[in-house]
Amino acid sequence: MTTNDSERTGCVYALIDPRNQEPKYVGATINPDQRIYGLKSAPPNRRLSKWFDELESNGLEPEFAVLERAAKSRLSELETRVIKEFDDLYDLFNVQKSSSSDHSNPRESAAPAAYSYGQDSAASPAGDR
């Protein structure tokens, strides 16, 4: 049984700091493993790159937490909403702050405090953002 592209599903995810369980980056993907590899190989901004380096120097890895699963066609909309909601609560590395110029990938977005991101961690297909 084949699945056409419009029926593919993906997830909105957060990369969590294992030291304090705070989300540091929110994205969307249909292939999690590939997405994490891509982010670590070529981080979209300096803050994310520094965070990856800091974790690695302490023998740690970011935790991958699935926040929502949805059809591929809805991922961008959900990602934007989650980033906006989370940015109100956390210092996300994928959101440009007016007080900082060290982001190369500014986005308008956020995620709801109602997410239980620590519960649905998964190494499922990785993604696009």
| Secondary structure in 3-state letters for 3-48 | CCHHHCEEEEEEEECCCCCCEEEEEEEEEHHHHHHHHHHCCCCHHH
Positive or negative, the CA dihedral 64, 86, 25, 52 is negative
Q: How many CB atoms neighbour CB 103 within 10 A? A: 18
pLDDT at 49: 95
pTM comes to 0.71
- Condensed to tens digits (0 to 9), the pLDDT of residues 71-124 reads 999 999 999 999 999 988 999 998 655 444 333 333 333 333 444 444 333 333
pLDDT at 98: 44
- Condensed to tens digits (0 to 9), the pLDDT of residues 2-33 reads 556 557 899 999 999 999 999 999 999 999 99
Per the model's pLDDT, the better-predicted residue between 1 and 66 turns out to be 66
